């Protein structure tokens, strides 16, 4: 099995890697995380292949993933970035609002960002995202630079787990207790 830390994604998408990681976590009894499908309405279909060729989004989606880790509700979104600056245009206001409400209910919300040019995965806690989001709303930068991020939230290299976010989720929980 290819791993992101030794060979790069090699054509696999971040979503595929997260899905495979979630399967491993479920098999080990560590977490139960589900991919939330984006609701679409097909408009045109290819009669031969029976594939959708044109569709529209029925409603705004919230986050990519939702579930529980050892009894703790979690939700997160996975994003890719090819440069050192992550544009907040990649995140929608309704996602930020959903995460705010999720955390208000006692859940943990975060983003997983794959910096493809660095071959590096980053765990962005909601609180850190909110700092950047509020700064942009107040007329500041509409993005954040990699250098602004806490290096302790870089996902570690982990044999057999493609996107080992549980390691950093534990750190996030510990940091919240301080």
Structure tokens at 137: 């709303």
Residue located via tokens 């399967």: 23
Half-sphere exposure (CA, 13 Å, Cβ side) for 142? 7
Residue 21 labelled as part of a binding site: no
In terms of residues, how long is the chain? 178
The response to whether 134 counts as a known ligand-binding position is: no
Q: Which residues contact 107 (CB under 8 A, 6 or more apart)?
A: 72, 73, 74, 75
CA distance 75 to 33: 8
62 is in an annotated binding site: yes
- CA-based torsion, 50, 53, 56, 57: positive or negative: positive
* 95 is an annotated ligand-binding site residue: yes
N-to-C CA span, the chain: 38
Cα 117 from chain centre: 17
**Residues of the binding site for Mg(2+):** 62, 64, 77, 95
Binding residues: 62, 64, 77, 95
């Amino acid at each position: 099995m290819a791993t992101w830390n030794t060979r790069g994604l090699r054509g696999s998408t971040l979503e595929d890697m997260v899905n495979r990681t979630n399967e491993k976590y479920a098999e080990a009894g560590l977490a139960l995380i589900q991919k939330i499908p984006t609701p679409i309405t097909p408009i045109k279909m290819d009669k031969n292949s029976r594939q959708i060729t044109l569709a529209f989004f029925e409603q705004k989606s919230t986050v990519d993933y939702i579930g529980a880790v050892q009894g703790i509700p979690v939700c997160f979104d996975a994003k890719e970035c090819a440069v050192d600056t992550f544009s907040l245009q990649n995140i929608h206001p309704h996602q930020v609002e959903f995460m705010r409400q999720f955390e208000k209910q006692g859940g943990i919300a975060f983003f997983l960002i794959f910096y493809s040019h660095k071959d590096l995965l980053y765990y962005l806690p909601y609180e850190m995202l909110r700092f950047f989001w509020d700064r942009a709303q107040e007329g500041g930068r509409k993005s954040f630079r990699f250098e602004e991020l806490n290096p302790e939230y870089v996902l570690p290299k982990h044999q057999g787990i493609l996107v080992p976010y549980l390691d950093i989720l534990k750190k996030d929980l510990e940091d919240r207790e301080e």
